[in-house]
Amino acid sequence: MTEIRENVSLKPYNTFGIDVKARYFSEAGSLEELRGILDHNLFKTVPVLWMGGGSNMLLVSDFEGWVIRVNLRGKHVEEKTDAKVVVSACAGENWHQFVLWTLEQNLGGLENLSLIPGNVGTAPMQNIGAYGAEIKDTFLKLEGLNIQNGELETFDREQCAFGYRESVFKRSLKGKYIITKVYFSLTPEAEHSVNTQYGAIEAQLSEMGTKATIHSVSEAVIAIRSSKLPNPKEIGNSGSFFKNPVVSAAQVEELKKTYPDLVAYPVSEKEVKLAAGWLIEKAGWKGYRKGDAGVHKNQALVLVNYGNASGKEIVALSREIQQSVFRTFGVPLEAEVNIIE
């Protein structure tokens, strides 16, 4: 049976570095341990919080229940053809280390998603994305443990209903499944197709003096992210705190009359995605600090804990920013980070 520890600090387990306690804490490294937890009397009597890499959450207060860290490990090449290679990774694998492993196998498809914090299991929940790519682009299927009956079920791309930083596991199936393994369809060398549509990648490749390959694109993304985003091991953060808002093309045209340098990307004929970081910076928040809660000096989309900020202080700062951006631009910002209050 999985060990149950009491009154455990969660500071080492969340990338924001928030020091709150869990009344009960366990780690599960196998399906058997997960099923044992589901059958345990404690599971039926106290609130439960499932954790992966702790990278997309903000803990606001002590958790008076059972925190369970999913720590299943393993990655494999499942199937090879001339056109594709299917690989799998268990939920507890670190996402970036998994991406590097696929590159070591000379497999293409995940290179633009290098250096995103977190674990494999939580990646499909929010359809992680960066630099013109999203997990849904290479996603094949996942396996999830049904919390009600302990059965392992399979979900394909359609069933996951991926959207912008969204999936069915953040909506109708929230809290109903534990993702245990994810499968991806990647390309062998003869089929590689690199995505350098984001100008920053092309500029970085030019600076590196190298042509675009899956390996150099990954190196470029790592260099860009490292220059703009703080390392959670040095400054507590969860990466992008807010989603990039999607607004009407008509609203963008109106905003451009006042802000001709507005950063916007067309989503469809009628909808446009705005750069949340640009909005926050323009509203005057970049580099702001109050106590140990702040907005990063290089990337306004990232809220940071400079050491001893509480979850409540980070939340309060995020709400001030939301109100300020709405007052300035009439654009609502939605948190990308999962706030656990």
List the catalytic residues: 165, 240, 336
Other Cβ atoms within 10 Å of 138 Cβ, number: 21
Residue closest to 147 by CA, chosen among 24, 29, 34: 34
Q: Is 154 left (phi over 0), alpha (psi -120 to 50) or beta?
A: beta
Residue closest to 56 by CA, chosen among 243, 222, 228: 243
Residue 179 pairs in a beta bridge with 144
**Cα 258 from Cα 70, distance rounded (Å):** 48
Question: CA torsion sign, 115 to 298 to 17 to 238?
Answer: negative
Q: Tokens representing 216?
A: 């150099």
Using an 8 Å Cβ cutoff, are 327 and 248 in contact?
no
